[in-house]
Amino acid sequence: MCGIVGYVGGRDALPILLDGLSRLEYRGYDSAGVAIIDDTGRLAVRKAAGKLSALRDILAADAPGGRHGIGHTRWATHGAPTTPNAHPHTAADGRIAVIHNGIFENHAVVKARLVGAGHAFASETDTEVLAHLVAEAAMSPTANESNGSHGSNGTVDGWISGDADTRRARFASALRAALAQVEGAYAIAALTPDAPGLIVAARKFSPLVVGLGDGENFLASDIPALLPYTRRILIVEDGEVVELTADGVRLSTLDGTTVERAPMIIDWSIEAAERGGYRHFVRKEIDEQPRALVDTLRGRIAGGRAVLPELDALDLGAVQRVTIVACGSSAYAGLVGARLLERWAKLPTDVAIASEYRYGDALVGPGTLVIGITQSGETADTLAALRRAKAAGAPTLALCNIVGSSVTRLVDATLFLQVGPEIGVVATKTFTAQLALLTLVSVALATKCGALDGVAGASILADLAAIPDAIRAALAVEPAVEALVDALDITDVRSMFFIGRGFGYPVALEGALKLKEISYIHAEGYPAGELKHGPIAMLDPAIPVLAIATPSPVHDKVLSNIEEVRARGARTIVLAAPGDAASAAVADHLLTMPTVREELSPMVDVIAVQLLSYHAAVARGCDVDQPRNLAKSVTVE
């Protein structure tokens, strides 16, 4: 989940690396560092624990100059977030630097062998193992035929010899040899002053992209880091190595076979990834939802039909059941999708947490459509679940926001969210876009199998097309939310419950997750009827309860559950339709939401819980865009 950048060309590398890291800091912000081949030909490494600003402070007083470097921002997996554990990691008397996103699962075994051979380690990380393996391979007779000598712990005498092209080739070979000894997921980049003007990088499961320039080339773990410099992007696939120089890029497999691939052209602007005057990306992205949904739906509704040509790659007529695999907010979107598919398409549908599905005993085959939902397209558990489904012969469909991401190259068909970059770590506009796509898929499947006639389908789609305006109206609840945060004295709230029934239950789960993610208030989401089966024992005046009581066939049941909450002295916050006197009568705080079709209500009702979580986080002084311990794209298991 870390951020990787690299540059080789004619410009000063440091400003480009820092700019790229700032655009990737949402991927990890426990520590940061850079490694630059300075103007004297030496490897200069600077790193610091904490956010990127801590590294900038160091560089303000001691900034290496050079036109060739790599940078990293870390989300800790192995080892605490300290300066020694920050990347880059070095070996061979500081003559090689490596950065890494992912996990080397066999690092302990490899490290024990290296320590036994005399290698000294400076960190607790799995990444440093790779640095020593590269050094070991580079100094072996197969990689370096010089007569120089070296010690077993990576000390250097001869190091890599030969002319510049030979040394570059030998360094790339050393990286391949090192990667052959590690197991797990990785996106890595490495450099040494002894292979001048070269960055070698590789990828397995974790994302990596190359930006193509004129007399310069770039590397990153995500496209936004590259957009100020180029829109010509080359996707590095699993099991590939890329060698970057200022003059060109060579892509190859791990065994050295050259790979030819045309670059893709990115058509969205870097301005779409900027805050645009907002204090936080999260708040901006909440406001962007009406426009984002218009983009999601554009061209996908015509003549009262769902227009999804991507589904032509699937034999929908053979689908007998559906499994949705996802994590976090995407899984809660999947719960809504399951209800839609069962209600309209009459297809049995289950939702599986991807990290459980991949290790479970799920029965899946050609008759099961497996839908993977992942905003980044790089979620490790969801990718693994989809690989398992494909291996069993199941047709696979992805809902994803990132063109060129791993999931798009894995599945049989992909529906893109089309909402532009979402920079805030927590899902906002991608969640509502996922709900919109699930609605379209459900109508398409229901129409295909004859469970929904054309008139009914057209009615649903017309209501869906009106949802952006309903969300615009829902955003007007913000003043009431701000007043609620003040009334609750949110800085003293330590726990909160969210409850709902039917389509309100996934909203309750998402609301609880949002509050936990960005305000650090403990929260739980429950089906409203489940309170009396245990959780109600927790309730007292110190625990507020938010209930989703917008119109539904079980509205009266929800009101009864709210009465149970009130009887225990807990404060009630109720989401209800305008003019709903019954809901107002049981609410200590009422949040009025626009009325829409019940099946589409999660897209509107979630706005209130997004705003509540945001303003709670701001009031508590939390880092809204970069919550502690979280990263945007979970690319490790």
What is the rounded distance in angstroms from the CA atom of residue 346 to the CA atom of residue 276?
44
> Is residue 121 situated within a structural domain?
yes
What pLDDT sits at residue 313? Answer: 94
What pLDDT sits at residue 51? Answer: 87
What pLDDT sits at residue 156? Answer: 44
What pLDDT sits at residue 293? Answer: 95
What pLDDT sits at residue 96? Answer: 95
For residue 167, the domain's CATH number is: 3.60.20.10
Res 151 pLDDT > 50: no
Question: Helix (H, G, I), strand (E, B), or coil: what is residue 463?
Answer: helix
Which of these is catalytic: 2, 327, 400, 622? 2
What pLDDT sits at residue 153? Answer: 43
pLDDT averaged over the chain?
90
In the chain, the number of structural domains is 3
Residues 6+ apart with CB under 8 A from 119: 91, 132, 136, 152, 153, 154
> Is residue 637 situated within a structural domain?
no
State whether 444 and 486 are in the same domain: no
- Cα four-point dihedral sign 509, 510, 514, 515: negative
State whether 220 and 76 are in the same domain: yes
> Is residue 74 situated within a structural domain?
yes
Last residue of a domain, one of 249, 267, 285: 267
Among residues 154, 121, 122, 124, the alpha carbon closest in space to that of 137 is found at 154
Residue 271 structure tokens: 């301005």
Confidence of residue 512 (pLDDT cuts 50, 70, 90): very high
Q: Is 2 a catalytic residue?
A: yes
* Mean pLDDT within 542-553: 95
What pLDDT sits at residue 473? Answer: 97
Res 119 pLDDT > 90: yes
Among residues 110, 147, 151, 149, the alpha carbon closest in space to that of 128 is found at 110
State whether 289 and 380 are in the same domain: yes
Confidence of residue 103 (pLDDT cuts 50, 70, 90): confident
* Mean pLDDT within 482-496: 93
Res 145 pLDDT > 50: no
Last residue of a domain, one of 267, 294, 319: 267
pLDDT tens-digit readout, 290-309: 999 998 998 899 999 999 99
Please tell me the pTM assigned to this model: 0.73
State whether 25 and 150 are in the same domain: yes
pLDDT tens-digit readout, 186-229: 999 999 999 989 999 999 988 899 999 999 999 999 888 999 99
What pLDDT sits at residue 28? Answer: 67
Question: Helix (H, G, I), strand (E, B), or coil: what is residue 594?
Answer: coil
Confidence of residue 59 (pLDDT cuts 50, 70, 90): very high
State whether 484 and 576 are in the same domain: yes
State whether 405 and 256 are in the same domain: no
Res 423 pLDDT > 90: no
> Is residue 540 situated within a structural domain?
yes
> Is residue 470 situated within a structural domain?
no
Confidence of residue 636 (pLDDT cuts 50, 70, 90): low
What is the rounded distance in angstroms from the CA atom of residue 142 to the CA atom of residue 145?
7
What pLDDT sits at residue 273? Answer: 60
Rg (CA), the chain: 26
- Cα four-point dihedral sign 107, 109, 110, 115: positive
Proportion of the chain above pLDDT 70, given as a percent:
93
10 Å CB burial of residue 104 (0-12, 13-18, 19+) is buried
Res 12 pLDDT > 90: yes
Residue 70 structure tokens: 């790599």
Question: Helix (H, G, I), strand (E, B), or coil: what is residue 78?
Answer: coil
What torsion, rounded to 10 degrees, do the Cα atoms 350, 351, 354, 359 define? -30
Among residues 449, 462, 374, the alpha carbon closest in space to that of 410 is found at 374
What pLDDT sits at residue 1? Answer: 59
State whether 172 and 309 are in the same domain: no
Confidence of residue 152 (pLDDT cuts 50, 70, 90): very low
State whether 296 and 223 are in the same domain: no
State whether 489 and 408 are in the same domain: no
Between the CA of residue 566 and those of 313, 481, 507, 573, 574, what are the distances in Å? 52, 20, 21, 11, 12
State whether 253 and 293 are in the same domain: no
State whether 405 and 481 are in the same domain: no
Strand partners, 323: 350, 370
- The per-residue DSSP string of 141-175 comes to TTT---S--B-TTS-BSS-S-SSHHHHHHHHHHHH
> Is residue 90 situated within a structural domain?
yes
Res 625 pLDDT > 90: no
> Is residue 482 situated within a structural domain?
yes
What pLDDT sits at residue 148? Answer: 35
What is the rounded distance in angstroms from the CA atom of residue 577 to the CA atom of residue 351?
29
Range of the domain at 26: 3-267
Confidence of residue 24 (pLDDT cuts 50, 70, 90): confident
For residue 566, the domain's CATH number is: 3.40.50.10490
Contact 373, 382 (CB under 8 A): yes
* Mean pLDDT within 61-65: 93
Among residues 143, 188, 468, 153, the alpha carbon closest in space to that of 301 is found at 468
> Is residue 636 situated within a structural domain?
no
Residue 44 structure tokens: 């200069």
Confidence of residue 419 (pLDDT cuts 50, 70, 90): confident
Which of these is catalytic: 204, 284, 429, 632? 632
Res 107 pLDDT > 60: yes
Last residue of a domain, one of 410, 441, 465: 465
Res 637 pLDDT > 70: no
Omega within 30 of 0 (cis) for the link into 88: yes
State whether 122 and 238 are in the same domain: yes
Say which residue the tokens 């199998």 belong to: 449
| DSSP run (H or E) holding 330 | helix 328-340
pLDDT tens-digit readout, 444-460: 999 998 999 999 999 99
Res 272 pLDDT > 50: yes
- The per-residue DSSP string of 391-430 comes to HTT--EEEEES-TT-HHHHHSSEEEE-------SSS-SHH
